[in-house]
Chains A and B, each alone.
Chain A
Amino acid sequence: MYNILICDDEKDIVEALAIYLSSEGYGIYKAYNGEEALEVVARETIHLVLLDIMMPKMDGMTAIAKLRTMSNIPVIMLTAKSEDTDKILGLNVGADDYVTKPFNPVELIARVKAQLRRYMALGSGISSHSDDRIMIGGVLLDDKAKTVSVDGEEVNLTPTEYHILKLFMDNPGKVYAPKDIYRQVWEDAPMGSEGTVAVHIRHLREKIEIDPSEPRHLKVVWGQGYKME
């Protein structure tokens, strides 16, 4: 059983999250500001922290920075600010993931699970990359078994989707234009039918992303193509 610390100055939210997570079988600790959160982390065995950013006494950013000096447990930010700069700042100070308020409870639980899996089961990058197994940011592609798992949970892909994903994972960070993808995956000249690529990628995203409209793994570079990160 994993212990999760929920920290938010809004008690109702903490309660709601506690209900959701305890129903999933996690042990729950509650804190209402950054200082309390740090105390709890120091005192108890905590496996994951859900941390609000705007809190009295000590805000989330400071709390994360201090937390990171004692532990490397996963931290998910809860933030009302949807600006990119806030997200980037949070990730930079050491958060592992973020959820913007108002959040979808299902999505939140999915993210909690994913972070815990990555932290507990996969650990610090065991066999992250070999000839047959490619691991990028929680997405594991086993070329031998032709299987793909995201945060330790296996997903079913069609052969086309698998090929597209493999193309991306072979060259992480590279931006592929739809026609390049078509040429490499379909092994055919793209005669105006590269439009289908976008549809396939859309489906692929739906399978490997928790929130397909805001992808973490397979990102859309609008007007240029797609890339894996």
Chain B
Amino acid sequence: MNKLKKNAGLKCAAAIVFSVSAVAFIISGILGAYFLERGAYGPDGRKKLYNQCVEEITYNYECRAIDFFAQKAALEINNSGKGADELIDSYDDMLMDSDETNFYFDITPTEAADKKKYASISNHEGMNIDYQYSNTVKRDVNVGIDVAFQYSLPLSDIVDKCRVIDEDYDGYASYEDGYEAYYSSFYVDYESDSYGTYEYDEETESYDYTVTYADTNDIKNYVITDDHLSYSLADDKEFIKAWDEFLKNYPEFDGLNIYVTYNQSTGILNVDAGISYAIPVVINEYVASEFTAYDAYYYSPVLNNYKYIIWAMDAVLPILIISGILALITFIYLICSAGHRKGSDEITLNRFDKIPYDVMVLIMCLSFYCTAYTISLVINNRTYWMDSEMAVSIVGTLAALILFPAFVMTTATRIKAPSNIFSNLFVWKLIKFVWKTVKKICIKIFGTILVFCRNLNLYWKYIGILCIAAFIMLLACATGSFGVVLIIGFIEFVFFVFVLARAIINMNALKKGASELAAGNTDYEIDTDNMMWEFKQHGENLNRIKDGIQLAVDERMKSERMKTELITNVSHDIKTPLTSIISYVDLLEKENIDNQTAREYLEVLDRQSARLKKLIQDLIEASKASTGNLTVNLEETDVRVLLEQAMGEFTDKLDKRGLKTIINYNTEPLTVMADGQHLWRIFQNLINNITKYAQDNTRVYIDIDSVACDNTGNSDVVTRKGMLRVVFKNISKDSLNVTGDELMERFVRGDSSRNTEGSGLGLSIAGSLARLQGGNLEIIVDGDLFKVVLLLVRA
């Protein structure tokens, strides 16, 4: 089944079959309906149909009746009687050209060089058919005769009437029924052998004899006139006079026109003749004999057509059924297979499916209209001539034939892939395009205005707003209504309050952001999304400053960390050779060396390698402490206990130097938030310094009290519980020529102690560790008094 769906050849064939069978179905359907309507399938159907055919076709060929008048006339003119068939043919061709039911032709006699007279008959489209008429015409009349026919009768009646008139010699015939409401009449005066037309002028209520003619010759014309003729005959002398007058006025009057009008709705034929400007011609006789030729000529094609009609009538039903079934099958197949293509299981859109659907529908409607038009033409038996209109309609019909299966398929495909059906509409696309364009233009215009306003200086904005507000107020005042002024005033008031509120909110946010920035909180970002105007700009600038600071801080942190890593790594690398040195120095010392100098040298080596070891360890610690690259576990720690423990560790050393320690506890409780291990390092370093640099046999004071300040010593900002202050005081054994701050720097010691053991990092490490725990360490040198102030966070 799927294979069938994807077979392109099969689809193509199905499309063709569908097209053809659909057309066959439609045509046979219409024909069937046509026959059915005329009762062709009932009893005596064929006879009825025949009669109707005759009737209809006769009406369709009504023009040819006039042809007969003209023909008759011509025949009469051409007294030689030759070329009747020719004339019929030529007339036939000529008249066929006009599908109007209204036409006229001229019969113009001409004189050839051979003195033979010719009558030229022409229609409006300029076709000329010349035929000869002989000189044997009995009377050569040089005066033009105007002949008018006015009929309101069916064609056959004209024939009858003509005959009647022929017989009714007295010439008075009146036709009241169907008489048209204008009084153009024709009269014949047999006594005076004159005849003409007259017209009734409604304004003057008189008869206007526009045409008059009188000839004493024995004119045997039989004409039809109406009842007014008798009335006018009384004044025929005047009429003749008038006619003469007319001729005088119109000396160029020279011809004869025959006008024929057929009213299709009433089925009435009008024939009338008028004056034209040509050489006058004599028409001896008008309709004077029976229309024998008429029957012969007209009924034969009717009968010919009838043959086909009967055939069509019999064929309609089977064609209808077969084409219907074929059309249905192919239709279903086309619908099912639409969108399926070889090599894909998805619904695939082809180029045809991408044409906007409404355009497709429009094209289909047009081609269907053409088809309908073509069908109507066919039904009206217009198969005999091709004009531009018909050509278009036939092309449209062919297009419909080709397009219809494609249209069916694309419709099915689009329904199967429904996302395509509405989005791919030309109208929709047009609307979208127009909308987009309009939007673009609007955005451009308003955007420009907005940008202009935005870039205005704050002063100008302020002035602008004030001006607008004042202008609106002025307008309100101009109305003269206090109510309006009040309402506008209120609205403006609300607006200003709103703007002011926004400004205050924004200002507050900016202030907070700036404070956070000042406090060094580089993580705080000012939310500028809802800010307005310059506030937003200002906020963004602050954020940029923050970013800059953050970047700088990060960079510094990074470089510090790298420095620490470098120091740590280098130190580790130094440690290995140092281990060898220490070991081999030790081994050397164990050798029995008698040389005293060598032993001294070894001692130096031993001492210096030990110092190097200490230096490296301190270096690592100092770098870690200063960059905060240490884990700090803050917990409640008792400073008194710690101090006792520390004193316990250093008692021996202190005693050796004769240093007496006096500890003053001036506050309670003595618990602080600190990392015991790190705090011990601080105390160790400080007390170790004391054992090294304090004057022998002096007192060392350690005072503990609490202070209300922060870790920088700033008493304006007080932490919740205050700080615990531990002050170490001792007398330096050497005079100090450096400041306390300098002592805190790494690798700095009092000059005089350069050559003693120690790395010079002790105070720096202690300071870093104190700060890591939220405290601080400060060194004050006052003469020989060396004072260390340690601040710790109270628990």
Q: List chain A positions with a Cβ less than 8 A from chain B.
A: 10, 12-13, 16-17, 19-20, 80-82, 101-106, 177-178, 194-195, 197-202, 220-226
Contact = CB atoms under 8 A, between A and B. Distances in A.
Contact of A178 (B578, B580, B620, B645): B645
A222 B683 CA distance: 11
Contacts of B676: 221-224
Interface in B244-270: none
B580 A222 contact: no
B637 interface: yes
Contacts of B578: 101-102
Nearest 5 pairs of A and B residues by beta carbon? A198-B648, A223-B637, A222-B676, A16-B583, A222-B680
A224 to B, nearest CB: 6
B642 A199 contact: no
B416 to A, nearest CB: 67
Interface in B610-650: 613, 617, 620, 637-639, 641-642, 644-649
B584 A195 contact: no
Contact of A105 (B586, B639, B642, B677): B586
B679 interface: yes
Contact of A222 (B582, B609, B651, B679): B679
Given A103-B579, A226-B645, 9 more contacts: A10-B576, A82-B620, A105-B586, A178-B641, A178-B645, A195-B648, A198-B645, A198-B647, A223-B642
B587 interface: yes
B641 A224 contact: yes
B587 A16 contact: yes
A13 B586 CA distance: 12
Nearest to A212: B649
A220 B580 contact: no
Interface of B is mostly: helix
B584 A101 contact: no
Contacts of A103: 579, 582
A101 B576 contact: yes
A225 B641 contact: yes
A102 B575 contact: yes
B674 interface: yes
16 contacts: A12-B580, A16-B580, A19-B587, A81-B572, A82-B620, A102-B578, A177-B641, A195-B644, A198-B645, A202-B648, A202-B651, A221-B676, A222-B637, A222-B677, A224-B637, A226-B645
A80 B674 contact: no
Interface residues of B, number: 34
Contacts of A105: 582-583, 586-587
Contacts of A19: 587
Contacts of A226: 645
A220 B583 contact: no
A82 B616 CA distance: 11
Interface string B577-609: 011111110110000000000000000000001
Contacts of B620: 82
Contacts of A10: 576, 579-580
Contacts of A221: 676
Nearest to A223: B637
B583 A13 contact: yes
Contacts of B637: 222-224
Contacts of B679: 222-223
A141 to B, nearest CB: 22
A222 B642 CA distance: 6
A16 B590 CA distance: 12
B644 A197 contact: yes
Given A105-B586, A223-B639, A197 B579 contact: no
Residue of A20, A220, A223, A225 most packed against chain B (CB within 10 A) = A223
Interface in B482-528: none
A103 B584 CA distance: 12
A223 B583 contact: no
Contacts of B583: 12-13, 16-17, 20, 105
B655 to A, nearest CB: 10
B649 A13 contact: no
A160 B583 CA distance: 38
A195 B647 contact: yes
Contacts of A222: 637, 642, 645, 676-677, 679-680
Nearest to A177: B641
Contacts of A104: 582
B308 to A, nearest CB: 110
B682 to A, nearest CB: 10
B617 A220 contact: no
B648 A199 contact: yes
Interface in B676-723: 676-677, 679-680
B751 to A, nearest CB: 29
A102 B579 contact: yes
A201 B587 contact: no
A177 B609 CA distance: 38
A221 B642 CA distance: 9
Given A19-B587, A80-B572, A82-B620, A194 B644 contact: yes
Residue of B575, B576, B649, B677 most packed against chain A (CB within 10 A) = B576
Contacts of A224: 637-638, 641, 676
Interface in B717-776: none
Contacts of A101: 575-576, 578-579
A103 B583 CA distance: 8
A81 B569 CA distance: 9
A89 to B, nearest CB: 15
A198 B649 contact: yes
B114 to A, nearest CB: 140
A89 B641 CA distance: 31
A17 B609 CA distance: 18
Contacts of A197: 644, 648
Contact of B674 (A81, A106, A195, A223): A223
Contacts of A80: 572, 575-576, 579
Nearest to A213: B649
B572 A16 contact: no
B757 to A, nearest CB: 15
A13 B576 contact: yes
Contacts of A102: 575, 578-579, 581-582, 609, 613
Nearest to B665: A192
Interface in B554-584: 572, 575-576, 578-584
A151 B586 CA distance: 25
Nearest to B639: A223
Contacts of B646: 198
Residue of B581, B582, B639 most packed against chain A (CB within 10 A) = B582
Interface in B47-64: none
Contacts of A194: 644
B551 to A, nearest CB: 31
A111 to B, nearest CB: 15
Contacts of B572: 80-81
A13 B644 contact: no
A226 B580 CA distance: 36
Contacts of A12: 580, 583-584
A16 B585 CA distance: 10
B648 A223 contact: no
A112 B750 CA distance: 42
A178 B575 contact: no
A16 B586 CA distance: 10
Nearest to A179: B641
Contacts of A199: 647-648, 651
Contacts of A200: 648
A130 B679 CA distance: 39
Residue of A102, A199, A201, A224 most packed against chain B (CB within 10 A) = A102
A106 B680 CA distance: 27
Contacts of B644: 178, 194-195, 197-198
A225 B645 CA distance: 8
A161 to B, nearest CB: 13
Nearest to A225: B641
